[in-house]
Structure 1
Amino acid sequence: MLYGVDPTGVPGPEEAMKRLWKEGGATEEMPQPYLKTVLCRIVSVSGVLREVAGGEVKLKLVTLPAKAGDDEKAKERTILKQLLKAIGSRKPQLVGYNSHNADVPIIVQRAIVHGLFGQRMGERPNKPWEGVDYFATSGDHNVDLAPMVGRWGQTPKLHEIATLSGIPGKVDTEGGFVSDLWLQGKLQDILDYNEFDAITTHLLWARIAHFSGLLSSESYEQEQRLVRELLEDEIDKGKKHFIRYIEEWERLEKMANKRL
């Protein structure tokens, strides 16, 4: 729509993407530059839902769409409506890596593009202490781990700090290849990739929470056990890609334990 190219007709989605990359500053060295989030289509959302009831911690993996193959559930509008409804009804604390600059802006921008109702996620209190505010640069409702561990040029990539911590970073693929997977019709591979990222982000959050004193050493160990149990449960349900994740986790942990 922006550049007058119809991805559903001629010349097709590949040429439409090439036009987006060209307008976004493509070069020979970087043919697929990072685009503004408003130009990006959301094809998958994944996260770990952590709930505490009666002192007991429970983890659940949530992915939209749950699996590839259902065209209606895979529509961006459907994904956003489900996500906004879940956030608006529960008002959870959001935790991400570079979420202030990427995750939350793309959700908001693409929801506006689709003309969706914010389902209370878009509400802002009159005063910071009077309610949940996902758009405040400070506060605990939208926790961005990236600026907590670095600033400017010293901010590590998720893959870098996770791997050095003995946590799987990017396994088998990385964000830069997602557009190629989409153009090849490999939505399931994207879902698997996002689920890896969700688990990695949660494990890194637990490590940072332990460092800051929010999780005791015992609680931190328990959190890792809960993640391992979650992965095993998901494998039993048929998500065999998590076998690869556990193998990489064990390999990195062995390497980390050998450090002086």
Structure 2
Amino acid sequence: MYKFITDNVVVFDVEWVPDPASGRRIYKIPDTASDDEVLDVMWRKGGATPDDPRPYLKTVMCRVISIAALVRKRVKDGVTLKLISLPGLNVSEQAEGEIIRQFLEAVGKQKAQIVGFNSSNADLPILYQRALANRVSAPTFCHRPDKPWEGVDYFNRYSDFSIDLKDLVGGYGKAMPSLHELASSLGIPGKMGIDGADVIDLWRSGDIRKIVEYNQFDALSTYLVWLRTAYFSGMLTEDEFVQEEHKLETLLLQEIESGSEHLALFLDAWKALR
């Protein structure tokens, strides 16, 4: 397990889709080809088969569409929780570089402990790769101390300032669960009717809100898995653990009342599993 929990914890999830512009450059496809034709080439070059016509592509060939996170802050009176999304639920789409810059620089300024699921192999690499592709500058996030004990270092794979729950509890090979499998086995909602394979179709149809909603579901599931590890490792007492679950339930009710009706699906599923 990890050695500490910082005052600021950001549990996050990233959604991305194949990027036709990158596909054109990588495979030297003429501009006369449509995006659909480019995507077909990308999948074919990526190893498409009749059983798997849309294989997982290298993240460098993709573009970030959405980042969702639960921000947990320790304050004098206890703990506060906030659910954030880039872009917001009512934004049609936001420039990829700006999504990445805002997220990384906010994390860096807070010196937050970041937590993800498969983040070390997927979410963080795509953020770095696409930051470079979009000429993003994120010096606060990228700052590295001269010595490990002198500050936050997000690029130290063994630092507890960046926790990958999949590495932490996932196992290896066939034993490694997906987030859906792990969360569901813990009595936490997993996939809510949409999975990663659906994101490209939602993006092509312009339904960014549905992607953001799905992104929030995964961030919530990841947060609840992290909360369970915090209790398991003794970082939270039983009373604190229960209080934190109640705090999340309160946050969800507030968000639902504010117009995020989709979160009622998550809350209802969570209550049913508990």
Task: Compute the TM-score of the two structures, normalised by the length of structure 1.
Answer: 0.91
Q: Which residue of 2 aligns with 1:18?
A: 40
Q: CA deviation at 1:229?
A: 0.6
Q: Which residue of 2 aligns with 1:83?
A: 103
Q: CA deviation at 1:86?
A: 0.8
Question: CA 1:247–1:132 in structure 2 vs 1: closer, same or farther (change >3 Å)?
Answer: same
The one of 134, 137, 145 aligned to 1:125: 145
Counterpart secondary structure, 2:141: coil
Can you give the 5+ residue segments of structure 2 that lack an aligned partner in the other structure? 1-24
**Are 1:203 and 2:227 an aligned pair?**
no
Q: CA deviation at 1:92?
A: 0.7
Q: Deviations over 1:20-46 (max 9, x none)?
A: 211211111111111111111100000
How far apart are the structure 2 equivalents of 1:55 and 1:44? 32
Pairwise CA RMSD of aligned residues? 1.5
**Are 1:44 and 2:79 an aligned pair?**
no
Structure with the largest fraction of strand: 2
Q: Which residue of 1 aligns with 2:6?
A: none
**Percent of matched pairs sharing the same residue:** 41
Q: CA deviation at 1:188?
A: 0.9
Relative contact order higher in (CA < 8 Å, ≥ 6 apart): 2
Q: Which residue of 2 aligns with 1:229?
A: 250
Counterpart secondary structure, 1:109: helix
Task: Compute the TM-score of the two structures, normalised by the length of structure 2.
Answer: 0.87
Q: Which residue of 2 aligns with 1:258?
A: none
**Are 1:141 and 2:142 an aligned pair?**
no
Write out the 4+ residue segments of structure 1 that deviate beyond 6 Å after TM superposition. Answer: none
**Are 1:214 and 2:238 an aligned pair?**
no
What amino acid maps onto 1:86 in structure 2? A
How many residues were matched structurally? 249
CA contact (8 A) 1:147 1:155 kept: no
How far apart are the structure 2 equivalents of 1:150 and 1:194? 21
**Are 1:33 and 2:55 an aligned pair?**
yes
CA contact (8 A) 1:89 1:119 kept: no
Deviates more, 1:150-159 or 1:164-173: 150-159
Q: Deviations over 1:18-71 (max 9, x none)?
A: 222112111111111111111111000000000001151000001000124444
**Are 1:244 and 2:268 an aligned pair?**
no
What amino acid maps onto 1:29 in structure 2? D
